[in-house]
Amino acid sequence: MRNAFLKTLSADLRQMLPFHVFVLAHMALVVGILTWHADFTAAAYLQYAAQFGPVYFLGLPAILLLGKLVAGVFRNPKAPLAWVTLPTPALLGHLAGAAAVFGSVILFMGSFTTFKTMMPALRNGFPYDRVQADLDALFFGGVDPGPRLMALFGNPHILSILEWNYSVAWTAFAFVPLFFIVLRARGAFRLRYCLGFALVWAVLGNLLACLFLSAGPAFYGHVTGDAARFAAQLRMLDNGVVAAFQTYLWQNHLQDVAGLGTGISAFPSVHVGVTMMNALFLREFSRTAGFLGFAYVFIILMSSALFGWHYLIDGYTSILVVLLLHVALKRLFAARPAAPAEDLKPSPSPAIP
């Protein structure tokens, strides 16, 4: 039994090795910069361990088991627990491998936010807001798109729905699919998805964001001194969830302290980028799923400008970069030697008694 467990765990770790190596390399770079910068208040590792750990190791597994229990009741009311069996050593090995991936995801998100929190200090502020805002207006017919979108969708009920979607629903769409793919998918697809996930955050939210650092319309007045440009748009958001979170981010920025989701950067948009990545993977399953995914990309793109988080060009850039990353990964994996047949079999159900 022990040999079967270790064999499965070893194969799982070996198959996901490129992802783990990427996470560790990213972390080493971030910790090196953090040490050089000598400001350890920017470290966000503990916050993500405290918040994401219970989600991936307790909350989502509990929801998965509850779902299987409910399904068992409907399928076989007389024996709703008939699906429960003792976990095999191979299943336990796969679950241990999945736990290692979730641990890497938590570590990666801590590194991502740590670096994002440091970016304004590394770049001595936000140097690109004026040029990005002007370019955004140029592409939108000579006017800033955010205020124009607010004039169209400024109804309080519409704003409330879009606020909930941009914060709560998007968070689930960004992080929950990863849980099920890591548990249930096998072979190249699982590795390609995890690498795509990490690359989107690292390339968009760290590399490009630091090179072209901007704060976005919500903080335009703070970083340029021109508070009037987006004032009317931002007043429509007063006392809402978005305004509260924007205040939280700015206060953390002023104190140079890291927390869950902290760090300010507009260009490009990780919200749009992650949504685009999931839409591209959905398109691989079916045209209908892909259509719904791309429709959601459009909603997130418009919402990002509506709420003052981003200029529209942030989303345009994210869509293009993620598309290029997705195509590059598919070609890279297509050029790799085919995996053994057993690596491509669906994972056994992670249900345990």
Over residues 227-264, the pLDDT tens digits come to: 999 999 999 998 788 989 999 999 988 887 887 788 99
- DSSP class of residue 78? T
**Triad 131, 219, 162: Cα angle to 5°:** 105
Residue entry with tokens 């995996």: 339
Portion of the chain with pLDDT greater than 70, in percent:
95
Q: In which band, very low, low, confident or very high, does the pLDDT at 352 lie, cut at 50, 70 and 90?
A: very low
> What is the C-alpha to C-alpha distance for residues 116 and 264, in angstroms, rounded to an integer?
7
Residue entry with tokens 């592409």: 139
Q: In which band, very low, low, confident or very high, does the pLDDT at 341 lie, cut at 50, 70 and 90?
A: very low
242 in Cβ contact with 250 (< 8 Å): no
Tell me which of 78-82, 153-157, 191-195, 331-335 is least confident: 78-82
Q: At what angle do helices 270-285 and 170-184 cross, to 10 degrees?
A: 50
- Residue 38 makes CB contacts below 8 A (sequence gap 6+) with none
174 in Cβ contact with 55 (< 8 Å): no
Residue entry with tokens 């995914």: 293
User: What integer pLDDT is reported at residue 93 of this predicted model?
Assistant: 92
Over residues 56-114, the pLDDT tens digits come to: 999 999 999 998 888 888 887 777 777 677 788 888 999 999 999 999 999 999 999 99
- Residue 353 makes CB contacts below 8 A (sequence gap 6+) with 84, 85, 86, 87
**Residue ranges of E strands in 182-298:** none
DSSP character string of 178-204: HHHHHHH--THHHHHHHHHHHHIIIII
**How long a stretch of residues is the chain?**
353
pLDDT over 90 (residue 185): no
Of residues 95 and 335, more confidence is placed in 95
> What is the C-alpha to C-alpha distance for residues 181 and 183, in angstroms, rounded to an integer?
5
- Residue 122 makes CB contacts below 8 A (sequence gap 6+) with 33, 37, 210
- Residue 344 makes CB contacts below 8 A (sequence gap 6+) with 186, 187, 188
**For residue 268, cis peptide bond before it (omega within 30 degrees of 0):** yes
Residue entry with tokens 């345990």: 352
Quick one: average pLDDT of 17-24? 97
User: What integer pLDDT is reported at residue 1 of this predicted model?
Assistant: 64
> What is the C-alpha to C-alpha distance for residues 73 and 67, in angstroms, rounded to an integer?
10
Quick one: average pLDDT of 272-296? 96
Q: At what angle do helices 156-164 and 241-255 cross, to 10 degrees?
A: 50
Over residues 137-149, the pLDDT tens digits come to: 999 999 999 999 9
Of residues 196 and 77, more confidence is placed in 196
- Residue 36 makes CB contacts below 8 A (sequence gap 6+) with none
pLDDT over 70 (residue 338): no
195 in Cβ contact with 18 (< 8 Å): yes
Name which of 301, 126, 323, 307 is nearest 212 in CA terms: 126
Tokens of 282: 């959905």
Using the Cα atoms of residue 277, residue 280, residue 285 and residue 287 in order, give the sign of their dihedral: positive
Mean pLDDT (the chain, rounded): 90
pLDDT over 70 (residue 339): no
